Amino acid sequence: MKAIYFFVSLLALASSFASVYDPNPLQDFCVALNDTQNASICKDPKVVVAEDFFKHVDPGNVVNKLGSNVTPVSVNELPGLNTLGISLARLDFAPKGLIPPHTHPRAIEIFTVVEGTLFVGFVTSNQNNTNHLFTIVRNKGDVFMFPIGLIHFQLNMGYGNVVAISSLSSQNPGVITVVNAVFGSTPPISPEVLTKVFQVHKKVINYLEKHI
Binding-site entries for Mn(2+): 102, 104, 109, 152
Please state, in angstroms and rounded to a whole number, the distance separating the CA atoms of residues 44 and 46: 5
Q: How far apart are the first and last CA of the chain?
A: 59
One-letter identity of residue 117 = T
- Contact (CB, 8 A) for 154 and 99: yes
- Contact (CB, 8 A) for 117 and 139: yes
3-state secondary structure at position 16: helix
Please state, in angstroms and rounded to a whole number, the distance separating the CA atoms of residues 84 and 209: 38
Q: Binding site membership for oxalate: which residues?
A: 104, 109
Q: Binding site membership: which residues?
A: 102, 104, 109, 152
